[in-house]
Amino acid sequence: MSAKREKVVVAMSGGVDSSVAACLLVEQGYDVMGLFMRVGPDRTVPTCVGMRERPTHSVQEPLPDGRGSDQKPADPGEEAGPAKATRQHQGCCSALDAGDARFVAGVLGIPFYALNFEKEFDALIDCFADEYVRGRTPNPCIVCNDRLKFGKLVDYADAVGATYIATGHYARITRRDGRTVLMRGRDAEKDQSYVLFGLGRTILDRTLFPVGELTKSEVRDIATRFSLPNREKPDSVEICFVPDRDYARVVRQRRPEAFIEGDVRDQTGRVIGRHKGIGQYTIGQRRGLGIAAGRPIYVTQLDVSSNTVTVGDGEVLLETILEANGVSLLADVPDGPFRAQVQIRYLHRAAPATVEMLGESRIRVTFDEPQRAVTPGQAVVFYDGDVVLGGAWIDGTE
């Protein structure tokens, strides 16, 4: 009699990464169950892109309670501007994505459930809007990972007796000194460890990242080997509820009362224009300021108390010291200051710095060289080589 297979619940977003993750887990002999996280009111689930019929394998009907997908996170701290027309998939978690995930589950012959988290996700969007109103630039993909995708995924795994959870994130998990640690994905261009710092050690102990050792091209090759219909599906590149990159529109819809006109000032304090609400600006923004200065100028400070936007030259954005709160440690760190490579945005190249704990939940980071556009509300994640030591949420600069 064969040994009982270990059960794993895999979050299937409909993209090629999570689809290949499910394929590899089935191939490795796990007892796999697929889950799709519904976060919007659209309940229709079409067939997969380019396909006219569903697979003949049995697929379970949806349950009324929901979670999980994986996508490339957006980087709202980068310079704002109009989205470029590309092949890239805008957002995730749509009805079309659900249909893709369901189809792949059918191809694999595994149970599949589409679970509903519309209410929880709506609260997350409210938090996103509130952060902009406070003059901060949030990263909702990280919050969604912590509160919904992984937290709820573990809850469901417990309910069905699953040992592991899995996603299609480009990250790796290994053991160091007898403890589970999170590492960057093997494919440096696709690495998603930055958005996973808040998971906690307990969740990491039960998590599998099947594509973490692969490059994107290798993932697509595997999808081709399994004849997956979404093997050429473009990556998701934007926040799923802001596919057009118009963050201000979402904030204005949620918090219209916060859009009050105020002064735009230069670095000397001189009024040089008016703005229509702090909620539509972020540190480092250049486009959309509506001010003709004769040279490139950027948002350098947002003062909610005075309802003032300050702009200046790019050099003003360079900062050496930041402080952050809400520390999550995924590995043991020294009691005193320690050296690390520190990343302050998803697309930021980690820079050498000294990290100092300020109690249990705060840190101070001092970079060797000034960094551009340190943005309150974004995550700061610190590494030892490829190993994620931990992270926190930026409060501001010194």
Could you give the CA distance from residue 113 to residue 61 in angstroms, rounded to a whole number? Answer: 6
- At residue 73, the pLDDT reads 38
Could you give the CA distance from residue 165 to residue 123 in angstroms, rounded to a whole number? Answer: 24
- At residue 395, the pLDDT reads 95
317-397 and 259-312 share a CATH fold: no
- At residue 287, the pLDDT reads 87
Q: Using DSSP bridges, classify how beta strands 31-38 and 112-116 pair: parallel, antiparallel or unpaired.
A: parallel
Which of 296, 332, 336 lies closest to 317, judged by CA? Answer: 296
* pLDDT tens series, the chain, 398 aa: 344 689 999 999 889 999 999 999 999 999 999 999 887 654 443 333 333 233 333 333 332 222 233 344 344 444 433 233 334 444 456 668 888 899 999 999 999 999 888 889 999 999 999 999 999 999 998 998 888 889 889 999 999 999 999 999 999 999 887 889 999 999 999 999 999 999 989 999 999 999 999 999 999 999 999 999 888 878 776 678 887 888 889 999 999 988 999 999 999 999 999 998 999 899 999 988 888 888 899 999 999 999 999 999 999 999 999 999 999 999 999 989 999 999 999 989 999 999 999 988 999 999 999 999 999 999 999 999 999 999 999 999 97
Residue written as tokens 């594509």?
A: 211
- At residue 327, the pLDDT reads 96
Phi, psi dihedral angles at 373 (to 5 degrees): 60, 60
Residue type, 237: V
Could you give the CA distance from residue 218 to residue 187 in angstroms, rounded to a whole number? Answer: 10
Residues with catalytic roles = 144, 240
DSSP label at residue 276: S
Q: Which CATH number fits domain 259-312: 2.30.30.280, 3.90.850.10, 2.60.120.330, 2.40.30.200?
A: 2.30.30.280
Residues with Cβ within 8 Å of 380's Cβ and at least 6 positions away in sequence, in order, are 322, 324, 342, 343, 344, 363, 365, 391, 392, 393, 394
DSSP per position, 22-91:
HHHHHHTT-EEEEEEEE-SS----PPPTT-SS--SS--PPPPSS------PPP-TTSPP-PPP--SSB--
Q: How many CA atoms lie within 13 A of 387 on its CB side?
A: 16
- 254 φψ region: left (φ > 0), alpha (ψ -120 to 50), beta (else): alpha
What Å distances lie between residue 131 and 95, 251, 304, CA to CA? Answer: 28, 9, 11
- At residue 148, the pLDDT reads 84
DSSP label at residue 146: I
- At residue 4, the pLDDT reads 62
Phi, psi dihedral angles at 19 (to 5 degrees): -65, -45
Domain ranges for the chain, please list them.
Answer: 7-225, 259-312, 317-397
The percent of the chain in helix, strand and coil, each rounded to the nearest 5, is 25, 30, 45
Q: How far is CA 312 from the centre of its chain?
A: 30
Contact 275, 281 (CB under 8 A): yes
Residues with Cβ within 8 Å of 134's Cβ and at least 6 positions away in sequence, in order, are 304, 377
Q: Which CATH number fits domain 7-225: 3.40.50.720, 3.40.50.620, 3.30.70.2740, 3.30.450.20?
A: 3.40.50.620
Could you give the CA distance from residue 271 to residue 374 in angstroms, rounded to a whole number? Answer: 24
Residue type, 308: T
- At residue 93, the pLDDT reads 61
Contact 80, 242 (CB under 8 A): no
Could you give the CA distance from residue 92 to residue 165 in angstroms, rounded to a whole number? Answer: 20
- 379 beta partners: 393
Question: In the chain, which ranges are continuous DSSP H helix?
Answer: 16-27, 95-108, 118-133, 140-144, 150-160, 201-204, 216-225, 247-254
The CATH code of domain 317-397 reads 2.40.30.10
Residue type, 249: R
